[in-house]
Amino acid sequence: MASTPAESRSLPIIAGQLELEEPQDVELVNQQLEPTDHGPAAWKLLGTAFVFEALLWGFPLSFGVFQNYYSELPEFAGNPYISVVGTVASGISYLGAPFTAPFIKRFQKYQRQMIWIGWPICIIALISGSFASTLETLILTQGVAYGLGFLIFYYPILNMVNEYWVTRRGMAYGLLCSASGVSGAVMPFIVEKLLNKYGYRTTLRIVAIAMFILTGPLIPFLKGRLPVSRYTATTTARSDWSFLRTPLFWVYSCSNIVQGLGYFFPTLYLPSYARSMGMSSTIGALLLALMSVSQVAGQFTFGVLSDRKVSVNVLIAISTVVSAVASFALWGLAHSLAPLIVFALVYGFFGAGYVAMWARMSTSVSADPTAMSMIFSLFCFGKGIGNVLTGPLSANLISRVLVLENYGLTKYMAVVIFTGSCMSLSGMIVGSRYLGKGVRHLL
């Protein structure tokens, strides 16, 4: 079978990733590899990855409902570190990226086995958490164990996506990132109903069984594009770390870390904020669902725009500035449901769009394919720093005083200001680089 144009265009990238055993293997590559950026195989892989992202990543991102429930239980009430359960689960997935990416590169032929190891750990973690009677046990099970399981199985899937999606990677990442938003439109309501009817023990078991049934049969469809049986990946070659000397990498990294420090607070505290205003737990779930729906549109839109060569720096500025304004003006001044709904929609769209640009931020830093995975994983690590610190920070930012007429209800004022400030500073870091260039040009 003759190679398609897409296959021919992908060969330089493949040559940079693989060390062919025999010269005639080049012809074998032309004949056997699926096309990139289109075709049934590429879409099947992306669709399967979408389901895993939606269910297994969407669950920890819906922790705001659990936090609201746990905070009202006698055994956990008043503990300022309840949020650590959720932030650790998602934070480990981010922080482990720089360690997992080189491992996958070195042992690429075992990436499917990694999926079979990490996936059951997530299931077992939820079942184990259902037997927890202390916050420490919940942190170890629903938090640490779940995060480790997700870390082990998710990055092999992401590596497979990278193999199939090259020139349209921004769109693919935007679609993949939006998966958790799709589940977030439904999962908070389901979890909230289950918690109120059955309690957290039975709820965790139901979620574990549902994940097992819905994702287990799809694992055989998770296959990479590159033929690991006939080719030797250049895993023994040293990675190109020259991007660490690029100022743009550090600008993006600092902006990313600061954005991550503030980003997660609304998803954690919107349900509690609404509850403090006398609204039901269902309203809290509704706000998370609306934010998730908006995240779907935002991540996909920003991903597509980055693919269409819209300046990444302009997109970063739009994402951070609008998120900051929404935090200061909408969340902080909210004393009724309407502004909270508007905030959830605006913040969800523009705040979540930042992550969808990581792929193009990586290509802006370096054009070397061997450096891409490490740059992306370091962006994940930076986001993870903010994610993990959200729990301890919130314990010191949340006030015990509640005054409904005041900014941020007084109780959440510091959280609102911190979130908006982080968004503002994140955009300023990127903008300062170009402002500095303009000043030097004038001088």
pLDDT digits (tens, 9 = 90+) for 87-122: 888 889 888 888 887 888 778 888 889 999 999 999
State what percent of residues in the chain have pLDDT above 90. 43
Angle between helices 413-442 and 247-263 (to 10 degrees): 160
Over range 379-402, report the average pLDDT. 86
**Where in the sequence is the domain holding 387, given as residue range(s)?**
242-442
Same domain, 84 and 228: yes
- Average predicted confidence (pLDDT) for the chain: 84
CA distances from 310 to 304, 307, 316, 318 (A): 9, 7, 11, 12
Confirm whether 30 is domain-assigned: no
Same domain, 226 and 313: no
Confirm whether 24 is domain-assigned: no
Same domain, 266 and 164: no
What predicted TM-score, i.e. pTM, was given to this entire model? 0.75
Q: State how far the Cα of 122 lies from the Cα of 118, in Å rounded to an integer.
A: 7
- Residues 382-393 pLDDT 10s: 988 888 888 788
Confirm whether 11 is domain-assigned: no
* Domain edge (last residue) among 222, 237, 252: 237
- The angle at the Cα of 119, spanning 116 to 124, to the nearest 5 degrees, equals 120
- Tell me, what's the pLDDT at 262? 94
- Residues 311-361 pLDDT 10s: 899 999 999 999 999 999 999 999 999 999 999 999 999 998 998 888 889
Same domain, 421 and 357: yes
Confirm whether 64 is domain-assigned: yes
Flag whether pLDDT at 6 surpasses 70.
no
Same domain, 87 and 70: yes
Same domain, 322 and 434: yes
Confirm whether 4 is domain-assigned: no
Flag whether pLDDT at 431 surpasses 70.
yes
Nearest to 156 by CA among 96, 106, 104: 104
- Residues 273-288 pLDDT 10s: 999 999 988 898 899 8
- Residues 200-230 pLDDT 10s: 999 999 999 999 999 999 999 988 877 765 4
Q: What CATH number does the domain containing 352 carry? A: 1.20.1250.20
Report the range of poorest mean pLDDT among 40-44, 68-72, 308-312, 332-336.
308-312
Same domain, 250 and 349: yes
* Domain edge (last residue) among 204, 220, 237: 237
Confirm whether 210 is domain-assigned: yes
Flag whether pLDDT at 193 surpasses 70.
yes
What 3-state class would DSSP assign to 246? coil
Same domain, 250 and 163: no
Same domain, 250 and 191: no
Flag whether pLDDT at 51 surpasses 70.
yes
The answer to whether 129 touches 160, Cβ cutoff 8 Å, is no
Same domain, 87 and 191: yes
Flag whether pLDDT at 365 surpasses 50.
yes
Confirm whether 12 is domain-assigned: no
Confirm whether 150 is domain-assigned: yes
Same domain, 294 and 183: no
Same domain, 213 and 290: no
Query: What is the identity of the amino acid at 98?
Result: P
